[in-house]
Amino acid sequence: MNKRIPEPSLRRLPSYVYFLRQLAAQGRQAVSTADLAQALKLDPTQVRKDLSLAGATGRPRVGYDLAELLTTVETFLGWHNATDAFLVGTGQLGSALLRYEGFGQRGLNILAAFDTDPNKIGTIVHGREIMHVSRLVGLAKRMRVLLGILTVPGEAAQPTAEKMVEGGMIAIWNFAPATLSLPEGIIVENEHLDETLAVLSHRLSLSLESR
């Protein structure tokens, strides 16, 4: 259980939660790895391994207790205790994330948003005032915010990320199309739509060829 969980396993866990919630809403009490595997198109062995890595245990012949499994996985994912975050860059995508209601249930709490556009400073988006980026470092330090969400244009990504680190942040969720160079130990996770789009258009063109 204390073994480092592989990233692919970690990435599959949220989908388990969604499916388990559906079953729970239907009043189900128990679930087997066969059920999960079929619904999520995975190998049953893989499901068992993932659940085991998340610290869940089931009972032979019965399966996993649904409520217990849900709690275990959600807790493992950290969805029960919120992580505070600052968001920098309130363009289309940044604003959309600010307005997204789902983060609360997933343990993410965006405290404030920053931008450089004078027209935006002082405006309120979904209950948060947009502040000038010059206040980022000081506020991050004072409020001990450890996670930064980076939704600035590509050119601004590197310097903005450096400010986040300067403010004491240790994790960055990067939506900008740029590769960040930051000190060892800083956790960077990229959300690059281009990557998925690349896979999609490549497969699409292969599929069109073979007709």
Per partner kind, with CB cut-offs from 5 to 8 A, the member of a second copy, DNA, none near residue 112 is none
Q: What Rg, from alpha-carbon coordinates, does the chain have?
A: 20
- Of residues 90-109, those binding a second copy (CB under 8 A): 92-93, 95-96, 99-100, 102-103, 106-108
Cα 20 from Cα 67, distance rounded (Å): 9
Cα 12 from Cα 39, distance rounded (Å): 13
Q: Does 127 bind DNA (CB under 7 A)?
A: no
DSSP calls for 77-122: TT-SS-EEEEEE--SHHHHHHHH-THHHHTTEEEEEEEES-TTTTT
Per-residue binder mask for DNA (CB under 7 A), 28-47, x = binder: ----xxx-------xxxxx-
Helix (H, G, I), strand (E, B) or coil at 190: strand
Per partner kind, with CB cut-offs from 5 to 8 A, the member of DNA, a second copy, none near residue 106 is a second copy
| Helices 66-76/7-25 angle, 10° precision | 140
Q: Return the closest-CA partner of residue 132 out of 147, 151, 112.
A: 112
Pairing of strands 128-132, 124-125: antiparallel
Per partner kind, with CB cut-offs from 5 to 8 A, the member of a second copy, DNA, none near residue 200 is a second copy
Q: Does 48 bind DNA (CB under 7 A)?
A: yes
Segment near a second copy (CB under 8 A); pick from 14-22, 64-72, 113-121, 135-143: 14-22
Sole binder of DNA in the list 27, 60, 118, 185 (CB under 7 A): 60
Query: Which chain residues interact with a second copy by CB under 8 A?
Result: 5, 7, 10-15, 18-19, 39-41, 76-79, 83, 92-93, 95-96, 99-100, 102-103, 106-108, 146-147, 154, 170-171, 173, 177-179, 181, 185, 187, 189-205, 207-208
Query: Which chain residues interact with DNA by CB under 7 A?
Result: 6-9, 32-34, 42-46, 48-49, 51-52, 56-64
